[in-house]
Chain A
C-alpha cells in the first residue's frame, strides 16, 4: 500500500515536470505598479504594488486584515480589474489599461478561504470540474492521481458535507491542482482549521507544492505562517507594499517600523547617535544607517535578543511572565519606564517583581529616526 502510494506520487511528479516549460530567468508572475480603487470608494484599496514571483517559488502576502492583501490576489486571479498598472502571467499581459484576459483563461488555480467546494457534487466531480475538456478516462486517472497526492484516495464518492475541515481543504487543493495551473493562489488556507491541524497541513501543503513544482502566492495575516512557508514575503499595510524580502530579511532587518512590529514581537527603545554609535538605555549599537550625530532614534529590539538574569542590585523589574510552553516571555520594566520583552527558555522561571539585569545581544541592528511615529510605544 505504502509502496503504491509513493510510486504514484513519483509518477505524478514526472508527469508534471514533463508538461512544464522551464523558464528560470523571467518571473512567472509580475505585478507592475498596480493600484485599485473600488467603485464608489474614494481611497484606493491597493496603491502602487509591484512584485514578481519566479517559477517554483512561494511568495506570501502578509498583512493585517483590511490591508488589501486579498485584493492583490483577486487582481491576479482576474476577479478585479486594476485601476492602474499591469499584471503579466507566464510572460503574457493579462491586465493593463489596454489588455484584459478573463479569469477562466489565465491558467490560475485558487484555494479559497472557506474552500468553496461545490456542495452538489461529489469529491470526484469537484476535482474533475477543471478537467471537463479531457476524456472521461483521463479525467478519472488525473482525479485519482491528485486525490492520492493529497492523501484522499477512496473518498471519490463522498459529498463535501460528509468531510472534515481538513479533508475539505485537501479536496480544494486537489481540485485547484488538477488542471495544472501556472500559478496557485492560496487565500488564508489555514484560517478555518484547528491550530494543531494547521501545523500539519502547512507541512503537507509545502511538500505537495514542492512535489508538483507549483508556483504559489499565499495570502495570510499570520507572520509565523509566512516566515515558515514562503521563499519571499511581501508585507502590506493600508494598501501599500511596505517591504519585500526573504523571511530572514523581513524579520531581522525590517525597513519600516510597521514591518518590525507586525512581523513578530518588537520593542522600540529610544536612543541617540553619539560618537558614531547608537546609545540607548539597554546598550550601545552600531550606527548601521550612518545617521547624523545627535539624532534621536528608535532601536528595534526583538524578545529573542534580550537576556535577563536575576540580580538583587539591578533596577529593571519583571512585570509579567507569559508562559508559552516552549518559552517564557517576560515583560520587563526598565528604570526609565520603558517596557521591554524578553524571551527565555521554558525552564527559566522568575516570579513577578524579580529585579533583573538586562543584556541585549543583537546581530542585526535596526534603527529608525524618532520623527517617525512609533506604533508600539
Chain B
C-alpha cells in the first residue's frame, strides 16, 4: 500500500519528531521554569521570543535558519569546522529547525503547569532538606505531569505536521530530509491522489487518536494541582 519512498518518509518523520521532542523537553524545561518563577524584567521579552514561531510564517524562520546554517553562516561555519560536514540539508538541521519551530508548543504548557504548582511545594521540600534540584525532580516535575504530557504530545504532533521550515532548511532529499508532509505535497503535485489520501488519512487518524489519549489521561490523572 505504501511505496518504499513513503515508508522512508514516515520513518524519517517519526525519528525527527521523537528526537525533536526529547531536545524540546530538555531545552524547554529550564526556559519554562525560568518564565514561571523569575521576577526579571527580561521575562516579557523572552516570552515573546519563545512565542514568535506561533505567528511567524514558517518560510521566514526557514529562510533565516537556512542562511545561519549555510557553510558561511554563524551556525553552519563553526559546525563545518568541528564536524567536517555541512549542516544545511542534514537531519541535524531538521532537528534544530523543528526545535525552534515547536518551542512554544512545549514551553507554554510547561510554564502554565509550573505556575500552577507554584513555589509552595518547593519551599516545603526545602524545609525537608531537599536541594532545589532534588525538589524539582521529586516534587515539582511529578506535580507538573499534565504539563509534560501535553507538551510532549503537542511538540510531537506539531513536528509531524511541519512543512515550510523543513522544506526550506532540509530541501526534500528522499531518505534524508523528505518528511511526510512533503511527500503528501509531492503526491498531490503529481496527481497521485490515492497515495496522498493514504498518508493524509493516516496522519489525520494518528493526530486525533493522540489527542484523544492525552485528554483521557489528563482527565483521569489523580494529581490535580490547580
**Contact residues of A with B, CB < 8 Å?**
39, 77-79, 102-105, 108-110, 112, 114, 116, 118-120, 129-130, 132-133, 159, 175-176, 179
**CB distance B225 to A129 under 8 Å?**
no
Indicate the member of A103, A105, A108, A175 with the most B CB atoms within 10 Å: A103
A104 neighbours in B (Cβ, 8 Å): 125-132
Query: Of the candidates B128, B132, B224, which one forms a contact with A179 in the assembled complex, judged by CB atoms under 8 Å apart?
Result: B128
- Check B124–A110 contact: CB distance below 8 A: yes
Q: What residue in chain B is nearest A178 (Cβ atoms)?
A: B128
| 8 pairs from A and B in contact (CB 8 Å cutoff) | A109-B127, A110-B123, A110-B124, A120-B222, A120-B223, A129-B130, A133-B129, A179-B129
Q: Is the CB of A120 within 8 A of B129?
A: no
Is there an interface contact between B124 and A112, defined as CB atoms closer than 8 Å?
yes
Residue from the set A77, A129, A133 with the largest chain B CB neighbour count within 10 Å = A129
Cα separation A14 to B129 with both chains bound (whole Å) = 24
Q: Is the Cβ of B127 less than 8 Å from the Cβ of A103? A: yes
Instruction: Decide if B120 is an interface residue (CB 8 Å cutoff).
Output: yes
Q: In the assembled complex, which residues on chain B have CB atoms less than 8 Å from the CB atom of A39? A: 39
User: Is the CB of B143 closer than 8 A to any CB of chain A?
Assistant: yes
B142, A103: Cβ atoms closer than 8 Å: no
Kindly state the separation between the CA atoms of A104 and B128 in the bound complex, as whole angstroms.
7
Chain B contact surface mostly: helix
Whether A119 and B223, one on each chain, are in contact in the complex, defined by CB atoms closer than 8 angstroms, is yes
Residues in chain A near residue B127, CB distance under 8 A:
77, 103-104, 108-110, 130, 176
Nearest CB on B from A175, distance (A): 7
Check if A120 sits within 8 Å of B143, measured CB to CB.
yes
A103-B126, A110-B124 known; 14 other A-B pairs, CB under 8 Å? Answer: A79-B126, A103-B127, A104-B129, A105-B129, A108-B127, A112-B124, A116-B124, A118-B124, A118-B143, A130-B129, A159-B222, A175-B128, A176-B128, A179-B128
Q: Chain B residues with Cβ under 8 A from A79's Cβ?
A: 123, 126
B139 interface contact, C-beta 8 A? yes
Q: Considering the chains assembled together, what is the distance between the CA atoms of A16 and B120 in angstroms?
A: 28
B121 in contact (CB, < 8 A): yes
Asked whether A103 and B128 contact (CB < 8 A) given A118-B139, A119-B143, A120-B142, the answer is no
Q: How far is the CA of A108 from the CA of B120 in the complex (A)?
A: 16
Q: Which residues of B have CB within 8 Å of A175?
A: 128
B142-198 interface with A by 8 A CB criterion: 142-143, 145
Residues of B close to A119: CB separation below 8 A: 143, 223-225
- Residues of A within 8 Å of B132, CB to CB, are 104
Interchain CB contact under 8 A, B222 and A130: no
Residue of A whose beta carbon sits closest to that of B139: A118
Given contacts A39-B39, A120-B142, A120-B143, contact A103 B123 (CB under 8 A): yes
